[in-house]
Amino acid sequence: MAVAESLMQGSARSEGLRDTLARRAEAVVIPALALLAGLVVFGLFLLTQGKSPFSFLYYVWQGAYGSAFSWQNTLSRAAPLLMAALCVALPARLGLVVIGGEGAIVLGGVAAGALAGPLAGVTPVIALPLLALAAMIVGGAWIGASGALRFYRGVNETIASLLLSYIAIALMNHLVEGPLRDPASLNKPSTAPLVEGLRVGNLPGMEVHWGLLFGIIGCVVSWVLIERTSWGFGARIAGANVKAAQVQGLPVGRLVIGFTALGGAFAGLAGFFEVTAIHGTANASLAAGYGYTGILIAFLARHNPLAILPVALLLAGFDASSGLVQRRMDLPDAAVVVLQGFVFMAILISETLYGRFDIFHPERRAR
Amino acid sequence: MAGDLGLWGIPVAIVGGAIRVSTPFLFVSLGEVLTERSGRINLGLEGTLVFGAMAGYGTAVLTGSAWAGVLVAALAGVVFGLVHGIICSLPKVNDIAVGIAMMLLGSGLAFYFGKPFIQPTAPDLPAIALGGWSDLPQVQAALNVNVLFLIGLALALVMAWMFRSTKVGLTLRVVGDSTDAARAMGLRPAVIRTLATAAGGAFAGVGGAYLSLYYPGSWNEAISSGQGLMAVALVIFARWNPVACFWAALLFGGAGALGPALQSVGVTKGYYLFYAAPYVLTLGVLIATSSTTRALSGAPGELSITK
């Protein structure tokens, strides 16, 4: 490992700043173009529906970033999306495609909602971290199970994690309609409402809850973990070639379970904030689709935790503006899902473009 | 005596339910067998299933013909399959990820175009009463078998024969087992895989049409809850064998019928847990049949999911 690192440093020193920038630019320019292509295809789709793509963009701008209120709405939605995207991006470093974050969000939320009752009398300084911890443990166990099944049994983690997510939602329905149901919740079965002290408030000077800050911290910490620690280095090696990693003596099993569990813990934390900051109780609203949007965000960010920050802000904006777009343009709410689908397709198609343009590869020009 | 089967009502309801619920599993899994035998995996069949359900229902509402609905659903499935197949033919594109995106796009388009069809009612697909020999209404209801179920059974047998002893079947198997060998024989793997994915999409579309035109027999946004995805897992369990897919689909159908069957005899507690039975069963089957050390027997060699 030491040899590899010194080699990397050596090559970094020998190449100029311009070359480094050219190399880095590929990972920014191609996804940006893909995003644009997805938007253009969606614009053409709108034209076939007799709607104007430009008024769509205008209402997205208004609904997502046009006023203080819309910024609040966008940022509140960005918080769970940041954490849901980490649930995809962290396992992706090991070459795993985990798509069951929705289940970890839901069960993390249920764990927080269920424990809030017994902890109602405890001082919030102690109770809130305990609730968050419980949500993270449950979420981590749920996604970590997909990783463990992958490592020990060779079960495909994509299918397993989505199945676990369906099971999680059924479990949530069972718990909030049965054992954990607050008898006072008539129309929408829920757990007992949280006491005021256990409600997480807003960030100072903003109408956005603390989850946003924790989401940002999560992304930064994940970036450091992946890019600047030996665990992250090991994970990247194992992601590229499992056999090589095992020959090197890397603890592949611990890495697989650790990274999937950490991703799940972030998703569980998202559920904690949804319950303590938004809903004030755990119910079916927890399955709001953040887990699925998080998949798209992680792919758009190419599984780079820092890139998740701007991408989540963008997709949270689409989400936040969907109500306004619906009302003003008379479009079904599914229009946002169609848009997400087109963008997702475009970003996957763009994978084929990497390495094809010499402008991003200065070493080829030199030859 | 009629109407008083007591606890015997549960197995009868499960058998009837298995036949009713299994048909979409059967069609999607047969389509996925076709695709996977050619060496690709299409996780997007969940989206195709949902879009097929909407397209089939919408067409049946507009034309008054349930069979026209089935046809349009199949054609829509072909389009989705072609899109998946062509995109996956590009170098460096991951077929599993494209499947996830197609899941999203298929459901999104279905919900978008399906809004006007939530209210109106469409004609049902016909069923054949095979339970006339019994006096019991429950047995008669259970053996009221839809035509598509029988078509699916016939398709499974035809596909098994096709893979075993026709040129088309052997070509698919060669392409699925080794891209290099296929190229050496002068075959074009990318084209064959794309066609196999398109045909598989058609099957999934028909499965969707069954959902909206027969059982449950209406169109709404919750029409499928992962049946398309479970069918993909079911293919692994059935070891890429069409006839085994038929039995596996019946098993999964039975698990899916457990919740409603218990509800029908008056069990109201915890039935959400029974609704999770098909997912738990799928996961259990995956755990039991996967392995880290040996390649799965019967698996096409080029399949990314088993590597």
Q: For residue A351, give the nearest of B93, B270, B305 by CB distance.
A: B93
d(CA A8, CA A11): 5
pLDDT for B135: 83
Give the integer Cα–Cα distance in Å for A175 and A198: 21
Read off the CATH number of the domain in which B193 is found: 1.10.3470
Nearest CA in chain A to B99: A345
Beta carbons of B226 and A163 less than 8 Å apart: yes
List of chain B residues whose C-beta atoms are within 8 Å of the C-beta of residue A303? none
Q: Which residues of chain B have pLDDT under 70?
A: 1-5, 293-296, 305-307
* Tens digit of pLDDT at every position of chain A (367 positions): 444 554 455 454 556 788 888 888 888 999 999 999 999 999 999 999 999 999 999 999 999 999 999 999 999 999 999 999 999 999 999 999 999 999 999 999 999 999 999 999 899 999 999 999 999 999 999 999 999 999 999 899 999 999 999 999 999 999 998 889 998 888 889 999 999 999 999 999 889 999 999 999 999 999 999 999 999 999 999 988 888 888 888 899 999 999 999 999 999 999 999 999 999 999 999 999 999 999 999 999 999 999 999 999 999 999 999 999 999 999 998 999 999 999 999 999 999 999 888 888 887 765 5
The verdict on residue A207 lying in a domain is yes
User: Does any domain span residue A42?
Assistant: no
Q: What is the 3-state secondary structure (H, E, C) of B159-224?
A: HHHHHHHCHHHHHHHHHHHCHHHHHHCCCCHHHHHHHHHHHHHHHHHHHHHHHHHCCCCCCCCCCC
Shortest Cα distance from A155 to chain B (angstroms)? 6
Q: Could you tell me the CA-to-CA distances from A73 to A21, A32, A252, B132 in Å, in that order?
A: 35, 24, 41, 60
Cα separation of A29 and A184, whole Å? Answer: 53
- Is B1 part of any domain? no
Please tell me the predicted confidence (pLDDT) of residue A5. 52
B residues 10-49 near A, CB within 8 Å?
43
**Number of independent structural domains in chain A:** 1
Distance CA B251, CA B20 (A): 12
Residue A40 within a domain: no
Give residue B206's domain range: 6-306
In a domain, A2, yes or no: no
State residue B31's pLDDT score: 97
> A309, A334, A254, A291: which is closest to A104 by C-alpha?
A291
Can you state the angle between helices B66-88 and B45-63, rounded to 10 degrees?
150
> Which element (helix H / strand E) includes B129?
strand B127-129
Query: What is the domain-level CATH number for residue A72?
Result: 1.10.3470
Residue A165 in domain: yes
If you search the block for the tokens 């995106």, which residue do you land on? B101
In a domain, A164, yes or no: yes
Instruction: Please give the helix or strand (H or E) that residue A301 lies within, else none.
Output: none
* Chain A residues inside the 8 Å CB shell of B104: 292, 296, 337, 340-341, 344
**pLDDT tens sequence across B205-216:** 999 999 999 988
Nearest to B282 among A163, A335, A348 (CB): A163
| Closest by Cα among B219, B211, B232 to B148 | B211
pLDDT in tens, B8-57: 777 888 888 899 999 999 999 999 999 999 999 999 999 999 999 999 99
Q: Which domain holds residue A232?
A: 63-351
What pLDDT, on a 0 to 100 scale, did the predictor assign at position A150?
93
Cis peptide bond prior to B216, omega within 30° of 0? yes
Element (H, E) at B146: strand B144-146
Residue A3 lies in a domain: no
Q: Which residues of B touch A349 (CB under 8 A)?
A: 87, 90, 93
Distance between CA B197 and CA B232 in Å, rounded? 13
Domain presence at residue A4: no
Q: What is the total count of domains within chain B?
A: 1
Given phi > 0 = left and psi -120 to 50 = alpha, else beta, which region is B42?
beta
